[in-house]
Amino acid sequence: MNSDIYDVVIAGAGPAGLTAGLYTSREGLKTLVLEKWTCGGLAASTEWIENWPGTPDGVKGRDLMKNFKLQAQKFGTQIVESSELIKAEPAGKNITVTANNGRYETRTLIIATGSVPKKLNIPGENEFYGRGVSYCATCDGPFYKGRDIAVIGCGDSGLQEGESLLHFVKSIAFVEFLPSMKAEKILQERVQKKPNTRFMLNHMVTSINGQETVRSIAVKDRQTGEEKKIDVTGVFIYIGFLPNSGFVNGLVELDKFGYIVADDDMRTSIPGIYAAGDVRSKKVRQITTACSEGTIAAMAARDYLKELG
């Protein structure tokens, strides 16, 4: 076990985790952030963010999150990347956090591990992952220059990433399971105006087909039952998310979907453990709300530590 005892360990280096780290470090608390991949979370893989306050012309997700990281480090936050959380457990008055690269002891824990994209769980999805199936427009969009593709899901993520993909691709077929789109109206209006888009609402994708790479998708009209084949060479999937809460399953209270239950002060069912951002059970999941919750969790952890003495 790492011989140091931290005041705060933060699991996750997305907007919530890095904001929490900024605030706890500025409070003079010894803070460690453990991140499974690299800093930034899903926000860093978003090509263009237009609803971050103070950026009227928008900002690239990776640039925004790079600044989050630098600012937290400026005030003393330690960050360890490629550190996958395995479990957390009370250890007397402290909490032991076990990761793939070691064990850490802390007086408080802020869980900000976010969520991961849901899968369609249909034939061809796993087989063609990386060969036509993607969950990240920023990562893979340039590979589809001049090609016809499909975007599955017409929520905010689907339309935002689809709009980014339109800079590269020839056309996009948007497929939405529901009879209407859930994305912000301004996004709907903007993307629908594009001449190289078409929308198939109330349709479900039944398979992703190809040989070495994707060549088409099969969709089914949920009202009429009619089945169609759409020729595409790329499929970008945005149908929702699953919480990264497995390492605390059985420790803190989770809702029926696996999100962590936390009160208005971000306190979980275990004293000294807090949850913030997309891993928390709530209605709205945005970068702004994640930052707010990271701030609240940091202040709650500070007050808790003062009470402990």
Which member of 7, 39, 140, 278 is catalytic? 140
Expressed in angstroms, the distance from the first to the final Cα of the chain is 24
Pairing outcome for strands 94-99 and 85-91: antiparallel
Dist CA 268 CA 264 (whole Å): 10
| Residue 139 a catalytic site member | yes
| Residue 39 a catalytic site member | no
Which member of 4, 57, 63, 139 is catalytic? 139
3-state SS, one letter per residue, for 207-259 = EEEECCCEEEEEEEECCCCCEEEEECCEEEECCCEEECCHHHECCECECCCCC
The single-letter code of the amino acid at 240 is G
Phi, psi of 52 (to 5 degrees): -90, 115
Cβ 305 vs Cβ 45: under 8 Å: no
CA distances, 154 to each of 114, 175, 199 (Å)? 21, 7, 9
Which member of 136, 148, 221, 265 is catalytic? 136
Catalytic residues: 136, 139-140
